[in-house]
Amino acid sequence: VSEVVQLLQEMIAIPSISPGYRESFESPYGESEIGEFVAGWLRNHRIDGQRQDVAPGRFNVIGRIGPDIAARTIVLCSHLDTVDVSSMTIPPYDPQVRDGRVWGRGACDDKGPLAAMMIALKRLSHEGSPGAGVVLAAACGEEIGMLGSAAAVDAVQNVEAVVVGEPTLFDVVYAHKGVVRWRITTEGKSAHAASPKLGINAIYRMGRIIQAIEEYQSVLADERRHPALGPATINVGVAAGGSQINVVPESCHIDVDRRCIPAETPKQATEDLRSRLESDGRIDFDFKIEPLSEHAAVECDPENPFLKQVLECAQSLEPNASFQTAPYATDATNLQRWNAPTPVVGPGDMADAHTAAESISVEQLELGVELYCRIVKRFIDGA
Ligand SMILES: [Zn+2]
């Protein structure tokens, strides 16, 4: 098997489920073991590699070739963590190669693109020092919270171009929505269920908020629409309240997911919701909105020269590749803080991501190495 297939197999064999908001990161949760593997791999190939601590037990690995920190720099970013494996119907950590595909958790999301970026970096390093900084950012925590890419922005300077590696089948994703999540809480007053008038029912209060949010959904569909990405959306995903069937509930919370278009900032989305609920005549009581996460939408200009180069590189390997938007969010939401273009492109099919039998095409994976090499070389030549 080829070098990139072998590397991907080694990485699939190391569990790295995103720990999310867990407190312990013991395998299979957490990215430290896969992070150590990537750092060791860089060392073995004499590529400068740094561990960037992000949170207790969580770190990114930043590899670099080329001149010192002052040079114009391109960043290749993929993530170390995967989603959970409990629903899988194939062995998650025993990577098999059959039917022209590599099978296992993370095969396409996101260890395939990461392995392709690593082999590309190694190949480029063998061609002598490039005329620009080439950085590999292997980020932790993409699946839940995106804390790795948020920190990575502080670890690299003079960034002029970014490539986010996700399985896009070589399409170049130039825009995606942002996502803001909140927990909303209502308080009541407990009482015996036989005497409800003595209490205040926190679930009834929340019911009015839920109704207002349901109505807000159609307002957003009418008023907040992006020509390519479609409308902003809002959804109540979790509702929980009360303690016992015979008690008037004293507290209730909902978790709400709001998808933003590029014209909206997460802060605006929060303020819009707050003022809408506060001015609603049915909601004549206090409630609390706590942000759980805030990620802005991404929109790069397809006319940007770097984006055009990336598309040309992709089309040189996959003639059907085109500019696309994505329904999902990526680390680009944080990496755009470099004020550099952040296209998302990579081998594999997002339709295989997070699935019970995740896999990636060997052909795509191998072409992925070539894709990232070509993108970097075009960037360096464009100086
Ligand atoms: Zn991913």
Query: pLDDT of 100-139, one tens digit each?
Result: 999 999 999 999 999 999 999 999 999 988 889 999 999 9
> 204 C-alpha to center of ligand 1: Å?
39
Q: Please, where are the H alpha helices in the chain?
A: 3-12, 32-44, 111-126, 147-152, 202-223, 266-278, 305-317, 332-335, 362-381
pLDDT value of position 20: 84
pLDDT value of position 105: 98
* Tens digits of residue pLDDT in 282-317: 999 999 999 999 999 999 999 999 999 999 999 999
Q: What DSSP state is assigned to residue 348?
A: S
> 138 C-alpha to center of ligand 1: Å?
12
> 132 C-alpha to center of ligand 1: Å?
27
pLDDT value of position 129: 85
* Tens digits of residue pLDDT in 145-182: 899 999 999 999 999 999 999 999 999 999 999 999 99
Q: How confident is the model at residue 383 (pLDDT cuts 50, 70, 90)?
A: low
* Tens digits of residue pLDDT in 320-358: 999 999 989 999 999 999 999 999 999 999 999 999 999
Whether the CA torsion 372, 378, 381, 383 is positive or negative: it is negative
Q: What is the mean pLDDT of residues 63-83?
A: 92
> 207 C-alpha to center of ligand 1: Å?
35
> 106 C-alpha to center of ligand 1: Å?
8
pLDDT value of position 382: 82
Question: What does 280-318 look like in DSSP terms, one character per residue?
Answer: -TT--S-EEEEEEEEE--EE--TTSHHHHHHHHHHHHH-
pLDDT value of position 22: 83
> 156 C-alpha to center of ligand 1: Å?
21
> 50 C-alpha to center of ligand 1: Å?
22
> 363 C-alpha to center of ligand 1: Å?
19
pLDDT value of position 335: 98
* Tens digits of residue pLDDT in 198-218: 999 999 999 999 999 999 999
> 248 C-alpha to center of ligand 1: Å?
43
Identify which of 85, 159, 191, 193 has the alpha carbon closest to the alpha carbon of residue 332.
159
> 285 C-alpha to center of ligand 1: Å?
41
Q: What DSSP state is assigned to residue 381?
A: H
* Tens digits of residue pLDDT in 21-68: 788 888 999 999 999 999 999 999 999 999 999 999 999 999 999 987
> 12 C-alpha to center of ligand 1: Å?
14
> 260 C-alpha to center of ligand 1: Å?
19
* Tens digits of residue pLDDT in 224-279: 999 999 999 999 999 999 999 999 999 999 999 999 999 999 999 999 999 999 99
Q: Is 219 helix (H, G, I), strand (E, B) or coil?
A: helix
* Host H or E run for residue 161: strand 159-164
Assigned token pair, 221: 């569909």
* Tens digits of residue pLDDT in 365-377: 999 999 999 999 9
- Round the average pLDDT of the chain to a whole number and report it: 96
> 80 C-alpha to center of ligand 1: Å?
9
